[in-house]
Structure formats: C-alpha cells, structure tokens
A and B are shown apart, each in its own frame.
Chain A
Amino acid sequence: MKDLHAKREAVRHPVAEMYAREHAARKLDRREFLTRATALGLAVPAAYGLLGLAAPEASAQEPQMGGTLRMQMAIKAQRDPRTWDWSELANACRGWLEYLVDYQRDGSLQPVLLESWEASDDATTYTLHVRPGVTWNNGDAFTASDVAHNIERWCDASVEGNSMASRMGSLMEDDALRDGAVEVVDDLTVRLNLSSPDIALIVSMADYPAAIVHPSFTGDDPVANPIGTGPYLPVSYDPGIGAVVERNTDHTWWNEGNGAYLDRIEFIDLGTDPASWIAAAEAGEIDLNYQAQGDIIDIFDAIGYPRSEAVTAATIAVRFNQDNEPYDNKDVRLALQKAVNNAIVLELGYNDLGTVAENHHVCPIHPEYAELPPIESDASAAMARLEEAGHAETEFELISIDEPWQAETCDAVAAQMRDAGINISRTILPGATFWNDWTKYPFSATEWNMRPLGVQVLNLAYRTGGPWNETAFSNEEFDSLLDEANGIADADARSEVMARIETIMQEEGVLIQPYWRSIFRNAAENVHGAEMHPTFVVDYVKYWKS
C-alpha cells in the first residue's frame, strides 16, 4: 500500500523521477537526492521508494518510556518565534510548538503538521495538505486557516528582527503578505502562489523561526502562554539558569506513540565556558551537551560521553567589506586570500574536524555544487601581489567574535598572513558587541549556519543589497546568474550556472572561507535519538533514555 502510494506520487512529479535516475547514475548522493526530492513534495517513504530502498527504521531498539533528561543548553530570554536568532530559543519550545515540516539528520524533509505538499513543475505554485486530526493543546482543531495565519505572520516585515520575512520574499509585497499569495482552498488545503520561482520555500518552513503558533498568540513570549500542538508543556523557564519541560498529560498528541518518550527534560544553562560543562559532566549533572567544539569533544569522549557528528554546510566566512579601504581593491583581497592555506587553517583553527572549503560558499553537500579546480596558496606570490597593489606596508586588522573556535580560526588565518610577511593585527570583540556592526567591519569573520540549498546563503549574503550582505559585494553578472539559478529545479542544469557563480566568487576574492565545519554533540551512552543535527535541532520529542 505504501509502495503504491509512493509510486503514484512519483509519477505525479517528473522532476523527482529525474532525480531518481540521476541517483541511479551515481550523479547524486543520497542526501542530495533526499533534500531535493522532498523539497518538491515527496513524502520520505516515497522518496526512499524511488531509490528502490526501504526507508530505514527509526531505530533498531524499541524506545523506552519515562525518565528525565538533563541537557546543557543556553537558555536565553524568549521572544516572538519569527524573530528568533538562536536555535536554542527554538529548541526549548519544540515540545509544544511544532513545525509544518522538519529537516531530518539525513537531509530529507519530514512532514509534520502538513501531511504532504506538491509543487508545480516551475516551482511557482505550492499546494499544502494540512494533516487531519491535529488539535491544539487548548482543544481547538488545527486547520488550513492556522497555516495561512502563520504565513501571514512570517511575511510581516514591519516587525523588527522578523527573519522569516527574508525567506518569504516570493509571497510578499510592500513588506507584507501579497494579496492572493495564500489561498485557503478548504479546511485542510492551502495554495501558495509565488511571484517568482522559489525552490527553497518549503525548506525555509523547516527553519527554526518557522514554529507554528496559535492564532491567539500576541507575539510576545511563547513560554508564558504555551498553546501549541506538541506533547510537552514548559514548567519553568529562567534565562541564564535553565528550563524544565514536562509531558502534557491533558492533551492528545496527533502522533501519540511515536515520540514523547521522556517524562521531563531539564535544560541547564552553564554559561559559554566549556570548562564548566565538563565540570558538570564529570559531576554527573548533565546527560548531554548542546554542542562541543575542538578539544572539548575529546575531553567529553574521555570522560564517557561519546560524540555524534553531523557533517554540515555550516562555515566561517573570513570576509572583506568592499566598501572599505583597502578592501575595495581586488588585488588586495586576492593577495590576502592567496596567503592562506585553507587546509592548515582547518587543522590549527578547527582541529581538522571538517572539510576544506574553496572560498565560494557553496558546499559539496549542496545539491547544486559544481566542482572547480582546487585553489592553491602561495605566500610569496601573495606578498608580491600585495606589493604591486602598493599595500606591502599596510597594517590589516582582522576582527572576530570571542567564541573560541572562531577566534582560533582567525588567529590561524592571521598567523599565516604574518608568515607571508603581511602586517596584520587581531581584534576580538565580545559576543554582545560584535553583532552591532557585523555587516560593516572592514575585515572580519562571521559564522554562517547551514542552509540545505546552495543558493539560499548566496541570496542572503552576496546578492547586491541582500539583507545580510556583509561583503558589500555587488556584481551584476553574479546577481543575474543567481536569479537564473533560483528558478531551475533541475540540479544538473542549476549546477552549470553554479559553476559560473562559484568562479565569479573566487575571481573576485569575496571572502576567505577556510572550511566546512562538522559539528558535534557528546551524550552519555544511555541517551538515544539525540545525535547531533546539522542545523542544531534538539527535537527532544524523539529522544529517549535507557
């Protein structure tokens, strides 16, 4: 029955079928295939069905009910979900605020409050099928109008810090939802009419600020009035100290039996200093950490908290701002780039826990990645080029935030430039002040989280006038190629355009992007289902303890 359903859906979507053929021809790896096919509307079992594989069982072991899980995680002051800027804010609320779709560890999209969705062949019309039988924990039924209400919220750019607005551009007009962009067809169906093709729309709905809130939510604090569809409820929430979440016994969760194993989850905020996380682990006060970095991973390993890894397209962009002297000079940028060997930065700055990147911010795990010839560093050529540009004596200043791995990466970058004879100094700013001017620093490093598609970050960060364009990069050819890529659903065709886009990025010396980071979490051996997620999702609804 399941197979039949899968085949029917597959027939309905020609592009997805083509993806399956590509996969068979080994052009696509499995993660790419899953991201691309599921983004276009295939259910995961269906997508696996196209590959001729059985969908993997969630876990070989039968999950055990009950228990309390204690996790180290920063607890920050809550605010309106669409303005969330930290995954931690979303993670704490995942027990009662659910999403339309979830991005899975394997790169696939899992329908949650949607049962399924379909996209038109040119990715300009989406039909969303709302999951029947879902209720809010106040007894209201969850319907298509709730979905429409949330999309309207996301499109309201007049709310300061609403980051969903930047993801919903194709549904918006004049900083608000465009008339006719969302149609409520019936109680369980919503149709979205896009103004331009957007292959990333559904993927964006899996991002952490896209939590689905009740129509009565006033946009203040999702903990104070926790109406949601999920199986848990918050018990306490103290920023800087911790939060406690317990199973909601008065509510029938739509997915009863497939999650909500734990009775109680305690988040403990131990500050930003990993030394105190280790101290807490050694004292047996936490079961798992949120994220471990560098040598800390080894230490946790050594004290009996084995690691789990997620390979990601998260990275650090050591970027130049072209509005500032001397970085408006392309030769200076290219010379500085040339002085840095990305592999050594990866070793010294990030313990070799990732893969070397190629200064263009498109990752091999992105579906549209195109391979370019390897880049080579050359210290003497770099210095020669800098001398030619008349900046041999200039003192450069590299700014970074005080987060250890970022500071260490920048120290490693600076050390290499220094070895090449370049005069460079370092500045480290505390987290609270770094973000004040992050788009304006002449030469600084910014952390970028992973986005499932390669075009997503390019749209945000490198397009002329893009909302988060910190490089002041402005290139007409690049912009028009990016527009073109945004409308190509076929990965191979898109990757041809991408090859040119990536080349422009390299030729223009936009940034030094040393590596793609793998991210890690350490958990005690009796914690299950809590492996690290590439976008830092802590879906504790699925965690259990033996």
Chain B
Amino acid sequence: MLLFLLRRIGLMLVTALCLTFVVFALTNMPAKLETLAKTQAGSRMSDAEVASWLDRNGYGEPLVMRYGEWLGVWPGWVREDEDGTVTGRCVTLRDTPEAAGERCGLLQGDWGFSTRFRADVADVITARLGATGLLMMWVLIVMVPMALIVGVLAGMREGSRTDRTLSTFAIASTATPEYVSGVLFIALLASSTVGISPILAEWGWIDGRVLFQGNARSAMDNITLSNFTLPVLTIALYGMGYVARITRASMTEVMTQQYIRTARLKGVSFSKIVLRHALRNALIAPFTVIMLQIPWLLNGVVISEVLFSYPGFGWTLYEAAVNNDIELLLASSVVAVVVVLVTQLISDIGYVYLNPRIRIS
C-alpha cells in the first residue's frame, strides 16, 4: 500500500513538472510576452518600448533558465541600474535588495508574483480556492443526494415509467452545458423584465425586484440563498445527470443479483430490500464516479464563476489566462493537476475499501 502511494505521488510530481513546463513554454512565447508588456505598461507602446520593458523585468533570459528560476533550482535574475538600484526576481518577492541572486522559486515556497492582481500568487490562490471550496461544497451537497435519489429510484424498477422519466431527465441534464443552463436560469429566475420574477413581484411574493440574483459577487462577503442558488444549481445540474446514470446502471445490476432475489422470495418488503441490501452495493460505482467528477466540474466552475462573476478559482484561472499572468497560470495548473490526481487516488483507494473483492497487489 505504501509503495503504491509513493508511486502515485511520484507520478503526480512528474506529471505536474511536465504540465507546468508546457504552460510555461506556451505563455512565454514572444507574442504572449508582448501582450503581457502591453497590458502591464501601456497598451499603445512601441516595439522598442516593449523590448526594453521585457528586458528590464527579467523576461529576456532563455526559457529554460527562467523555468529553473520559477522552480527554484536556479538563482533569480538580478539587474543593476545605472543609478545603483538593484532589481530582480527575489528583490520583488522578498521585498529586500539583499535577496538579489538567491533562489526563490517553488522549492523555496515562493509561488511568484501575479501581474494581473499585483499580489503574491500564493495569497491570490489561497483566497480564491477558499471561495471555490465553498461553492463546490454546496454543489456537492445539492448534486450528490439529488443524483443518488434519481439514480436509485430509476434503477429500482428497470423499464418502469418512473425509470423512463427519470432517465430522460438525467440525459437531458447531461445534454445541457453550463453556459446554456446558466443563461436559461438567469432569463427565467433573475430578470426583472422577463421570466417569473416580475410576476412574483407583482403578486407581492418577493420583496426585491428578482427572485434570485444573477450575480454572485456579493456572495464573497455573505452567502445567501438569493445570491448563491443560481451558480450552484448551474454547476450541479450538468454533473448530476452523469452520476445519476451511473447510479441507475449500478442499481439495476444489483437488483438482478441472486441475494436480492432470495430476499424477495423470502418475502422481505421491497423498500426494506432496497434500503438494507441493495443500496450499499449499488453505491460503490457512483462513489468513484463522484470523485472523478470533481476535476470534471472544474470546467463548470470556470464557466459558472465567469458567468456569475464570482471570484473563485475558476474565475482566477480565466483572468490569468486572458491577461497572460504567467506565474498565476502556472500555480493554477499545479493546483488543477493536484486536484485531478488526488481525486483519482482517493477514488482508487475508496474503491478498494468499499469493494472487498479487490486488493492492491
């Protein structure tokens, strides 16, 4: 087991290393650097000004060396102006000129500086991850029970009318990407001119102008039903259908097993069979799928956070990508890779624990 864990962690590190290098190379192409210079120092700069800005800010060195600086295996760049002021990677990060020439990268715990947000990457990422953590928590709280209920109800009696209806609903929900459902929800529930809000407001059922808010910015300070419902629902809906279908498949399989038949022949009531015997075994497959769904939901998180302008991790990723904020993007991809691989690991381990028939050799 320990060896298995070690191997997985080793693989994780290699994957993260490869990915960050790809991201680093793609964000450091000359055209991208020009974009960065222009967003940082003035969009209508001339080419000569761009070149001088890049050189002054340490973007002039070879790619591999700068990747080494970011990792912390190579000393950060240093530059001394004519008037004797020293600038350099570590000078900015540590805020002291003495740090010039030291190593200050990932290995030393320095995640770098975000050019978009003018702050340490580590601070930005932790703050945003916290916000997304809350969002994901609510998504899972809504999505998992809903998906399991739909799946179990549908799988209990395969081919019944309930099964057909619920299965179609599950398929429809997987066929509705976040940018469609989010748009539909806003038009239907969060507009004061169309949808149901004007009707409700006229009847006096709601105090404000709209039933739910189509903007989740205020949820940063204070999460309420009104500002958090739509982003949560948007992400949960798309993920729900898939989990529900897996649950259904797993449930129908369990319901045809010998021991269920035996129990039925013995005259145990149907609800008792489902709750006592079938559920535990039927939930093994959905568990692994739910874990694997989490990185998958990241897509939805980006779309939904951008759509509802909720500054979480997805929103940060989007902003970093649009503004070519190199070090923030790198940190985001490290986080994303870790999330993907850790959830895979948990799903593997969980599968073993839940299913006594499998042992890791």
Contacts and interface: CB of A to CB of B under 8 A. Distances in A.
Interface of A: 77-79, 83, 85, 160-163, 221, 238-241, 268, 270-271, 273, 275-276, 278-280, 282-285, 299, 302-303, 430, 432-433, 435-436, 438, 467-468
Interface string B296-324: 00000000001111010000000100111
A176 B306 CA distance: 44
Contacts of A241: 311
B44 A283 contact: no
A71 to B, nearest CB: 13
B45 interface: yes
Interface of B: 31, 34-35, 38-46, 49-50, 52-53, 115-118, 186, 190-193, 208-210, 213-215, 217-218, 226-227, 306-309, 311, 319, 322-324
Q: Which of B45, B117, B208, B217 has the most CB of A within 10 A?
A: B217
A279 B187 CA distance: 10
A238 B46 CA distance: 28
Given A271-B306, A433-B35, A285 B217 contact: yes
Contacts of A79: 40-41
The 8 closest A-B pairs by CB, nearest first: A161-B42, A279-B214, A283-B213, A279-B215, A160-B49, A435-B43, A280-B215, A161-B41
18 contacts: A78-B118, A85-B44, A160-B41, A163-B42, A268-B217, A270-B309, A276-B308, A276-B309, A278-B214, A279-B308, A282-B192, A283-B227, A299-B193, A430-B322, A432-B35, A435-B44, A436-B35, A438-B44
Contacts of B50: 160
A157 to B, nearest CB: 10
A432 B53 contact: no
A299 B214 CA distance: 15
B49 A432 contact: no
Contacts of A436: 31, 34-35, 38
B171 to A, nearest CB: 29
Contact of A77 (B35, B40, B49, B309): B40
Contacts of A268: 217
Nearest to B197: A282
Contacts of B42: 83, 85, 160-163
A276 B215 contact: yes
Nearest to B118: A77
Contacts of A435: 38, 43-44
Contacts of A284: 208-209
A114 B122 CA distance: 45
A442 B152 CA distance: 61
Nearest to B212: A283
A209 to B, nearest CB: 10
B274 to A, nearest CB: 43
A239 B311 CA distance: 11
A415 B9 CA distance: 57
A79 to B, nearest CB: 7
B354 to A, nearest CB: 42
A270 B322 contact: no
A284 B115 CA distance: 32
Contacts of A270: 215, 217, 309
A283 B41 contact: no
A83 B31 CA distance: 22
Contact of B115 (A77, A238, A299, A302): A77
B215 A240 contact: no
A285 B116 contact: no
A435 B323 CA distance: 13
B215 A432 contact: no
Contacts of A302: 193
Nearest to B36: A432
A361 to B, nearest CB: 17
A280 B210 CA distance: 11
B306 A279 contact: no
Contacts of B31: 433, 436
B118 A279 contact: no
Nearest to A237: B118
B176 to A, nearest CB: 19
Given A161-B42, A271-B306, A279 B209 contact: no
A83 B322 CA distance: 21
A530 B227 CA distance: 28
Contacts of A276: 214-215, 307-309
A237 to B, nearest CB: 8
A72 B117 CA distance: 18
A238 B217 contact: no
Contacts of B43: 85, 435
Contact of A163 (B44, B215, B307, B324): B44
Contacts of A430: 322
B209 to A, nearest CB: 6
B192 A303 contact: yes
A282 B213 contact: yes
A56 to B, nearest CB: 35
Nearest to B318: A271
A303 B193 contact: yes
Contact of B190 (A85, A239, A279): A279
B118 A221 contact: yes
A306 B46 CA distance: 41
A240 B208 contact: no
Q: Which of B34, B118, B324 has the most CB of A within 10 A?
A: B118
Contacts of B217: 268, 270, 280, 285
A541 B20 CA distance: 46
A283 B218 contact: yes
B118 A432 contact: no
Q: Which of A162, A240, A280, A432 has the most CB of B within 10 A?
A: A240
Nearest to B319: A240
